[in-house]
Chain A
């Protein structure tokens, strides 16, 4: 799958057809058709940088790119549905039928406009949320990092864009009957992390997932979390993480799909 940290050149050499996607999304990308320019620029620029240069929404770009390669390689669709839920998912049935009292609405735009970080306020709302209630966050941009944070707490989300506002519904996922230990483990403040490295090991036989994950740890520092897409709960991995001073939170998304969030252990926790 294509991630925001991948180099444009890498993408274009692996999936030449994605050039059409780039050009469709922004005329800025027309330069990429020129082989010389492509060489000069594309090898240095990541998808994220390219999106900001061209003024294209990063998520839209990622989504379109992944959709394009998806068709080509017939790659497992679900990865992208999971990642790109807000743009392609249907509104969950129960959100239409749920009574308004059960929806706890929280407009964070005033907080953001005043220059503050609404994260802690959101987390306290989450904490007080009952299992059958839905938290509705209204924001001026899509709060993508929040998805990962709340996912570790067992929340699914559904996002809609109305005019300039993003409305994000967070609700307890039904398949999320994680055991108590996982819940406790998940109770950690992830607000201090600003980088997420993703790693998909679902196509690898043992012990390669473990190897890939342990190798990746070198890149995980205090500001980074490693998000691993796994096909099972990596029971044997935990002790090895422990040895190296890392911890993991595992969430079962569905059968054969687990998200493992790995982060450096700290001495002081909140």
Chain B
């Protein structure tokens, strides 16, 4: 029997591409915190303003989605046991995507300039379609589906919806045509992006990574399945009902479904943490655990929005967005980067040398004390900023953002150390 064909090597993820996405994401993260800091006076009031929109998209496209793209190229082959359909497309996608982000962020910033909204939106859509195609083409080869795979597939669907909704909004900004309030569409775009795309990915991936890092087992994934169903149901419902007038009642139903789904997810994760064998949480897992608590707060806040006119309360939408983007997602990404990036570099540079020469341990690859400061500053920055939004004290917001910026510098320094090690 011929055993020369290698099944295993086919799965090894494309290191260079993943690193490229991660480096771009880390750069965007520092840029995001820098922009918040120098524009702190503009970060208040209504959320539909050029600078806030611009900074938001540095966060969502440049940092968050860039990270997820990189992570997916890394994880999909490993989790679903398939080869990435095309590394070339992943490379191509990166440059188109980068062009799109840069264009869009500039256009939001110089809102009234003669630049186009539609053009960068088309680039972004193109990049996202390439991504979706690449991953779905990889997924067609999957032999055994697991819960993570189904979550990721759902997430890609919602990513595409987010992109299309974004494109429609962009066209509308160039040539107004949307009859109903375009802020309604914006809300759809944002909800689908954060819940359908980002959170679905977070959920799916966490079912793999949390047990892997904490060595947790002996639990059922029933709640994860319910969460998947409820959130997809809720999002589909909201997307459908959005186009009709007087839909408060339906929004309440679908919103509640999403809320319950998220709560079930959090309970599931709590169970997984409870059943872990490694009791001590390392720095990456501390970030992650705090981030998931922040997801809990954000979920409660979002749910409360179903019951009152939140948009007229000063800064409440901003707090919501800040909680989601910074407190929940950024904290989670920073934490997961502390886990994944050292492993990625270690695997690439050192795994072939194990047993042949001395190789560093993961925790030797970055300064763990600094990482603790990173966590502390980030948490202090988040709490200070939220309090500043509530009290509307500008100086407090400045200090909150300063803390966050400092923490992002520490983070990037540590990441630099890992890449160089």
Across the interface, which residues of A come within 8 angstroms of B225, CB to CB?
Answer: none
Contact status B354-A247, CB under 8 Å: no
Q: Contacts A207-B347, A236-B12, A238-B11 known; A214 to B6 CB distance under 8 Å? A: no
Segment at the A interface, from B62-70, B209-217, B311-319, B408-416: B209-217
Among B1, B343, B355, B359, the residue within 8 A (CB) of A270 is B1
Across the interface, which residues of A come within 8 angstroms of B211, CB to CB?
Answer: 256
Task: Name A177-224 residues within 8 Å CB distance of B.
Answer: 179-181, 185, 187-188, 202-207, 210-211, 214-218
Contact status B1-A269, CB under 8 Å: yes
B245 is an interface residue with CB less than 8 A from chain A: no
Q: What bracket does the count of chain B residues touching chain A fall in? A: 20 to 34
Contact status A235-B78, CB under 8 Å: yes
Task: Name B1-47 residues within 8 Å CB distance of A.
Answer: 1-3, 6-9, 11-12
Contact status B215-A203, CB under 8 Å: yes
Among B12, B277, B355, B362, the residue within 8 A (CB) of A207 is B362
Q: Contacts A179-B143, A215-B355, A269-B1 known; A185 to B9 CB distance under 8 Å? A: no
Contact status B213-A205, CB under 8 Å: yes
Give chain A nearest CB distance to B110 CB in angstroms: 45
A113 is an interface residue with CB less than 8 A from chain B: no
B184 is an interface residue with CB less than 8 A from chain A: no
Kindly report which residue of chain A lies nearest to residue B3, judged by CB atoms. Answer: A269
B88 is an interface residue with CB less than 8 A from chain A: no
**Measured between alpha carbons, how far is A237 from B9 in the docked complex, in Å?**
9
B144 is an interface residue with CB less than 8 A from chain A: yes
Contact status B3-A185, CB under 8 Å: yes
Give chain A nearest CB distance to B12 CB in angstroms: 4
A241 is an interface residue with CB less than 8 A from chain B: yes
Among B9, B278, B346, B355, the residue within 8 A (CB) of A242 is B9
A167 is an interface residue with CB less than 8 A from chain B: no
**Measured between alpha carbons, how far is A270 from B3 in the docked complex, in Å?**
10
Across the interface, which residues of A come within 8 angstroms of B218, CB to CB?
Answer: 256
A67 is an interface residue with CB less than 8 A from chain B: no
Mostly, the B contact residues are loop
Contact status A241-B212, CB under 8 Å: no
A248 is an interface residue with CB less than 8 A from chain B: yes
B351 is an interface residue with CB less than 8 A from chain A: yes
Q: Contacts A215-B354, A236-B12 known; A188 to B213 CB distance under 8 Å? A: no
**Measured between alpha carbons, how far is A181 from B355 in the docked complex, in Å?**
29
A118 is an interface residue with CB less than 8 A from chain B: no
A28 is an interface residue with CB less than 8 A from chain B: no
Contact status A239-B12, CB under 8 Å: yes
A255 is an interface residue with CB less than 8 A from chain B: yes
Kindly report which residue of chain A lies nearest to residue B80, judged by CB atoms. Answer: A235
B421 is an interface residue with CB less than 8 A from chain A: no
Contact status B81-A235, CB under 8 Å: yes
A4 is an interface residue with CB less than 8 A from chain B: no
**Measured between alpha carbons, how far is A188 from B3 in the docked complex, in Å?**
9
Across the interface, which residues of A come within 8 angstroms of B277, CB to CB?
Answer: 203
Give chain B nearest CB distance to A154 CB in angstroms: 15
Across the interface, which residues of A come within 8 angstroms of B347, CB to CB?
Answer: 207, 236
Contact status A218-B355, CB under 8 Å: yes
Kindly report which residue of chain B lies nearest to residue A213, judged by CB atoms. Answer: B354
Kindly report which residue of chain A lies nearest to residue B359, judged by CB atoms. Answer: A211
B304 is an interface residue with CB less than 8 A from chain A: no
Task: Name A46-68 residues within 8 Å CB distance of B.
Answer: none
Q: Contacts A188-B1, A242-B8, A242-B9 known; A207 to B215 CB distance under 8 Å? A: no
Q: Can you list 29 A-B pairs with a CB-CB distance of less than 8 A?
A: A181-B7, A185-B7, A188-B3, A202-B215, A205-B215, A207-B351, A207-B362, A210-B351, A210-B354, A211-B359, A214-B355, A215-B355, A231-B215, A231-B217, A233-B81, A235-B77, A235-B78, A235-B81, A236-B351, A237-B8, A239-B12, A241-B8, A242-B9, A243-B352, A247-B3, A256-B217, A256-B218, A265-B3, A269-B2
Known: A187-B1, A241-B8, A270-B1. 19 other contacts (CB 8 A): A179-B144, A181-B7, A188-B3, A202-B215, A205-B213, A207-B346, A207-B362, A210-B354, A214-B354, A215-B354, A216-B355, A217-B355, A218-B355, A235-B81, A238-B7, A239-B9, A242-B9, A248-B8, A256-B218
Q: Which residues of B contact A (CB under 8 A)?
A: 1-3, 6-9, 11-12, 77-78, 81, 143-144, 211-215, 217-218, 277-278, 343, 346-347, 351-352, 354-355, 359, 362
